[in-house]
Structure 1
Amino acid sequence: MLVDADALARDVVEPGTPGLARVVEAFSAAILTSDGRLDRARLGSLVFGNPERLAVLNGIVHPLVRERATAMVAAAPAGAVVVQDIPLLVETGQGKNFHLVVVVDAPDDVRIRRMAEHRNMGVDEAHARMAAQASREDRLGAADVVLDNSGTPDELRHAVDALWEGRLAPFALNLKEQKIAPRTGGPVLAPADPSWAAQAGRLINRLRVAVPEDVLSLDHIGSTAVPGLDAKDVIDLQLGVRDLEAADRIAPLLAEAGFPRWPGIISDNPKPSHSDPADWGKRLHGNADPGRAVNLHLRAAGSPGWRYALCFRDWLRADARAGADYVAEKIRVAGLHDVDKSTAGYAADKEGWFTDYAAPRMEAWVSRTGWQPPSYGDDAGDDAGPGTAQS
């Protein structure tokens, strides 16, 4: 199902609509054609290049478009893939409301040439249109998927088909069935990816929308959160809640947002052998999206397990030697399990390193530096920082 925001923007200012009446009230009848329709070229010449006038127009049209779009989405059949085509998605900050953001991209010179060829725009007018929109850098930064539109229509069509078959359709099915996307590979380490932090940030923003009342903290943890550290290509996030009853209560909301629960995960490893298992209890969720593996750890904010994840992250971030030693250990253990079909054996064989090597050195670092976990509450978790023993 397609919800085309451009088409809706035209519908809400058709003759006789309240939307058109409000536009005329704001800009005068001079923006109407002789038959009473909206003269888009005339209106465009008034608002593009004039941020104040553009804001007035957007303040009229955008709420009407969103109201229509919401009604269409609500009427979609269960399990349908709903694609919302929103040209100003980045400018209006709506990306966090969707399971996935796809940006169709082309270099600026290609966009200008196409506006001249297909819309009869002059170069100055094309630049004014682009200046009123988000920058290319901002659009790419908001994207989970980028489709290259600098080539032919057939090339773009093939890319869309591959995205649909390989990611969107299975993602929709997993959402409907509340299943985590299958992971069948063993412990393969990937080179450090500078985009991991931005990916985690987008996921964190979506989670805040999904469970706004129960999130005490949200942090990027695990190896992918330590700049420059090689890791399995899995984003680890930690969601701090008041207690595990809250974690169980919000599980359906997380599943609806694309993060179903892994069955049977109730506690952390590694943990001190003398500790109370209740202090290390957690719930573990994964991602329904086959294109981005995620482990979402739900722990009571302030608990030992919650603290350990954040401390381990910050220790690896601060101590380059510790990070190098951890990578060496991961390479060693991955070599022992290079034919495995899962990462269970890999994770179990790292436990000794955490308890015998990491724990005493990390606590010594805490004593030297006076490290304390971040405060949590309404403003916590905005820093998508690094590390947990699970990655």
Structure 2
Amino acid sequence: MKHIYILLFSLVFVACGNSEKQNETVPAESLKTDAIVISQSQFTSEQMQLGKLEEHAFNETIKTSGMIDVPPQNKASISTFMGGYITKTPLLIGDKVKKGQVLVTLENPDYVEVQQHYLELSEQLNYLKSEFDRQKTLYDEKITSQKNFLKAESSYKSSLAQYNGLRKKLSMIHINPSSVEQGQITSTINLYAPIDGYVTKVNVSNGVYVSPSDVIMEIVDTEHIHLELSVFEKDILNVKKDQKILFKIPEASQDTFEAKVYLVGTVIDEKNRIVNVHGHITDENQTNFIVGMFVEATITNNVTDYLALPNDAITEIDNQYFALALTNKTNDNFYFKKIKLDIGKQTETFTEITNQEDLLNKEILTKGIYMLLNEGGE
């Protein structure tokens, strides 16, 4: 009898243990089978959510790259029309300049010679003009010969051409011809900023001689920056004006910025088989873009609606994709079935489902599947 009581007590204990286990949720093995049971308390505590297959807009895109740039009229290379020695360079790289501001000062005896020659011609011109008028009057009255008249005319007009040429040359090197005519001769000239902007290069220092072919400094106006993108030949026919561009600056930020296609090049680079695409940035002031920054960009070609699920509703197991579809619900439990997915296009938040018939009109676990996966792996 003693052995019988022990056996009966053991059977009752095992039966009670099995009964308790049947009431627990078993997430650890749930993802290894098609049937998954989640308790109501677990569903609530983990803030799980249900949803359905829904239409979502997917962009057909073209991947490209390029750089931040400015239009040609927003760049200026500073050089001189006459060589000279640098005597003053007050600016550094990064300095902001206004149009008309003095950039550098040059000195050269040649400037003095040009002014002297101009002043001499200016004085001679008065005499030659007077002589020409006199000879013309005499010729008209048949008092002098045609030869004398033509000689006076030639001398005057030749000197006038030289005078106008030197006057223009003085203006080009920023010397006022009227001041020279008043006897004000200078050995220095100033170079002025042709645009507003920032100094990006300074290639000289005090005492250096610069010739007309030398670039003294460069100025860039960053008020109207844009994108210069390189699109491969195979994609260029799908690029049109006003298409949306999303771009990042991977070396500086992970933020995504917007732009629009403004111009599409009409010539293919024979070496790389690419076409230049010019894009206008939607909000140029949202960050401090720097000319020359490398960008990675995506041009939106077309927008199409497809049936899709949130990425949070999809899990990957052994290179296959699955979702959990609700098959039954009681007061205590949610019953799900694991369904294999065929996926298509993807965005940062949604994934196209191509085998839609398996999920139509079914409620899907849209939040919490990753938690189940992690529990299953523990």
Instruction: Please identify the structure whose Cα radius of gyration is greater.
Output: 2
TM-score (norm 2): 0.19
Q: TM-score, normalised by structure 1?
A: 0.19
**With CA pairs under 8 Å and 6+ residues apart, which has the higher RCO, 1 or 2?**
2
Q: Greater share of helix residues, 1 or 2?
A: 1
